[in-house]
Chain A
Amino acid sequence: MKCFVLVPGNMVDVAVVGAGQTKYGNHPLGLKGMWAEAAAKAFSSVDGDFDPAAVEEAFIGSLAFGGSQLGNTAALLTEHSGMDGVAVRRVENACASSGFAFRDAWMAIKSGQADVVVAGGIEKMNDLTPERKRYWLGVSGDTEWERLAGLTFPGTYALMARRYFHEFDATHDDLVHVSVKNHLHGSMNADAHIRKEVSFEKAAGGFMVADPLTLYDCCPTSDGASCVVLAADHLAHKFTDTPVWVKGAGAASDNLALHDRPSITQLKATQVASTKAYGMAGLDARQIDVAEVHDCFTIAEVLATEDLGFAQRGEGGRFAREGEGRLNEGATTVNSSGGLKSKGHPLGATGTGQVVEVFKQLRGQVEKDRQVRDAETALTHNVGGSGATCSVHVFGRER
């Protein structure tokens, strides 16, 4: 039996020692197959000997394991990845499910309760009829009030976008710049759902989904699974010589419904979560080299660049317009993977999918053309719904 004395400042440090994911998009496999693929890639990415049976705890994020809305599926998945009998559970916080699964895994090690933990996420979305998909994609919002006012998430973020244009010096063209950038990054990512560049003109003239947001402002609905392996500091170097350290973690929540928030042009949960994460890491936004931010809609990236501190309040449009987030052009490369917009957004898989990207970026393991130069630090930002939940993690090559 283990006994613990928690001493502030003397807790365990946590490292990511392995990470992998499926290709996002219309995946030919079902839930079990996709999870098995992501887990196998994560386990094989561990440089040293790794036995999945040694995993003590597992946290799998998913909105509902696909539109089939199955329950108790985490155990089913782990038996297809060599983790039979592991203490596993599903973590659900809408699109932030695996961001919180990662946080829970980090806490399990940080608290001293476990040494080797797996976090992951999964969603199967493209086996649904369009009608079921439109039903299911809106269940993470405020169904009783917003949904009965005709809103799905494109509509909710459209309300934010129009208000943002009203309050600040920004136009839809700024959102187009986000879309063009993320498609450029995603075109170089072998795991991305949409691997093609789009021109400014094409992105600006897309089919109107929810005025002012067009098709090119909206992320695709993707299948996908992602998986990462975390280890306590005393074991990290057993698994790899190049662990990626979790230097800071923060999370917060906000009102579920947009109409209950004092401002709809900023996400308080992001601000609170990132402040905690930066504080724990001893870093600020200017010191982040790579940021995977939650761009479910282009306006979400504009807001995130402000809420995370990469741009001043009201300057997110300019940040996008001037290309500050483009690969190796500004202080921080934003969404080197292509983001949710181009890499794809398999809801429950997105959070740990972001960790997969920064793990590879900090180890110099992404495609050569989209490698962020001299990347030492990174951040992931995973949002649930229209900002009701948010988790932020800060990573570094140095402990």
Chain B
Amino acid sequence: MSTEIWMGYLLHHEPDYTVVQSPFTHRGVRVFGADSDATTLAVAGLLHRLKHDEIPFVSVPDGVDALSLSSATGIPIFEVNDGDESPWEVLMSDEAMVVISKRHASVEIPMMDVEIEVDAEFHEAIEAAWVQELSETHVSQGAYVSRSQYEEAASSRLQLHGQSSGHHVVWPPRFSHVVGGENADGMHLQRRGKVMTWTTLSAAGAPSEFSLRAPVLGGLSTVLLQLEDGPNGVFLMVDDEDAVLAMDAQMELVFRRLYAQEGFVRYGLKARAIHD
């Protein structure tokens, strides 16, 4: 029906399924960008799908981080006792592609003519860094964000869950229901904002959590955005696109890998320039 660029990925939408592919290729095969994986593609696909359908549950295969996917989309993960079958499922491929499909839908993979050939040396270096970083024995010297700490903040980190009292919007939320002197309700903030300031840290100056990949990436770029709902936030720029940063430039927030240690990936929202 339609193919578009969505959150940095190639997305093809059909009534019964959505195909999400990485725009990057290496030796003729679709490969993930520097901070993408099947989970990030699946989240992008589900968020697009939610514009058209209600998705009460989704089942995910091994290789997709169910907790992060659910936290980022708000869609519960299908459990056996939820019914006979999940109405929606995430399907993976050998290449950097996922399909979000109604169960039993007939899926036809479209040809998408956007192919960005990655630099082989860069691609292999990033892949090797992730393999090392994802090792269960890899414990970086980074400021430790434990699994429970990650899970506790997952809805605010991955879905921009904040608080509003009507007059004040606060994000990340506080362990208090009083904001600006008034009782506050939960809300989800829009994933867009404008650049208030930015920096690019040299690899030598980057936090040690990123010490394996920052040299390959040539440093880390961080923006402070004023979100459309008011609060400010700091976000890494996506790793797999170059953007010319400028004050007031419009950015969208997309779901990507942040870093890994002890065998599990911490995901988060990263900023990506809006080109429209």
Enumerate chain A interface residues (CB-CB to B < 8 A).
131-132, 134-136, 138-139, 143-152, 154-155, 158-160, 162-163, 166, 207-213, 257-260, 264
* B135 interfacial contact with A, CB 8 Å: no
User: Which among B220, B233, B247 is the interface contact of A150 at CB below 8 angstroms?
Assistant: B220
Are B235 and A162 touching (Cβ within 8 A)?
no
Interface size class of B (residues with CB under 8 A): 35 or more
Nearest-neighbour CB distance to chain A for B102, whole angstroms, equals: 35
Q: Give 30 pairs: A residue, B residue, CB < 8 Å, sorted on A.
A: A131-B141, A131-B208, A132-B141, A135-B140, A135-B142, A136-B141, A144-B153, A145-B172, A145-B233, A147-B142, A148-B145, A148-B258, A148-B259, A149-B268, A150-B220, A151-B201, A151-B222, A152-B207, A163-B224, A166-B197, A207-B202, A208-B202, A209-B201, A210-B200, A213-B199, A258-B234, A259-B224, A259-B232, A260-B232, A264-B224
Are A151 and B207 touching (Cβ within 8 A)?
yes
CA distance A152 to B206 in the complex (A): 7
Quick one: which of A135, A148, A257 has the most chain B CB within 10 A? A148
Are B208 and A210 touching (Cβ within 8 A)?
no
CA distance A341 to B7 in the complex (A): 42
Task: From known contacts A144-B145, A210-B201, infer whether A159 and B234 are also in contact, taking CB-CB under 8 Å.
Answer: yes
* B266 interfacial contact with A, CB 8 Å: yes
Contact residues in A for B200 (Cβ distance below 8 Å): 210-211
Contact residues in A for B247 (Cβ distance below 8 Å): 166
Task: From known contacts A158-B199, A159-B198, A208-B202, infer whether A149 and B236 are also in contact, taking CB-CB under 8 Å.
Answer: yes
* B204 interfacial contact with A, CB 8 Å: yes
Additional pairs, 17, CB under 8 Å, beyond known A131-B211, A144-B149: A132-B208, A134-B205, A135-B140, A135-B141, A135-B208, A145-B233, A147-B143, A150-B207, A150-B236, A155-B201, A159-B197, A163-B197, A163-B224, A166-B197, A209-B201, A259-B234, A264-B196
* B231 interfacial contact with A, CB 8 Å: yes
CA distance A242 to B65 in the complex (A): 68
CA distance A138 to B268 in the complex (A): 19
Are A134 and B222 touching (Cβ within 8 A)?
no
Residue of B with least CB distance to A135: B141
Contact residues in B for A131 (Cβ distance below 8 Å): 141, 208, 211
CB within 8 Å of A: which B202-239 residues:
202, 204-211, 220-222, 224, 231-236
Contact residues in A for B196 (Cβ distance below 8 Å): 163, 264
- The digit string for B65-86, where 1 denotes a CB below 8 A from any CB of A, is 0000000000000000000000
Are B268 and A148 touching (Cβ within 8 A)?
yes
Are A159 and B222 touching (Cβ within 8 A)?
yes
Nearest-neighbour CB distance to chain B for A265, whole angstroms, equals: 9
Contact residues in A for B258 (Cβ distance below 8 Å): 148
| 5 A-B pairs with least C-beta separation | A135-B141, A143-B143, A158-B199, A150-B220, A163-B197
CA distance A378 to B209 in the complex (A): 41
Contact residues in A for B266 (Cβ distance below 8 Å): 148
Nearest-neighbour CB distance to chain A for B266, whole angstroms, equals: 7
Task: From known contacts A148-B145, A148-B266, A149-B222, infer whether A138 and B201 are also in contact, taking CB-CB under 8 Å.
Answer: no
Contact residues in A for B202 (Cβ distance below 8 Å): 207-210
Contact residues in B for A132 (Cβ distance below 8 Å): 141, 208
Are B145 and A143 touching (Cβ within 8 A)?
yes
User: Which among A134, A159, A162, A264 is the interface contact of B208 at CB below 8 angstroms?
Assistant: A134
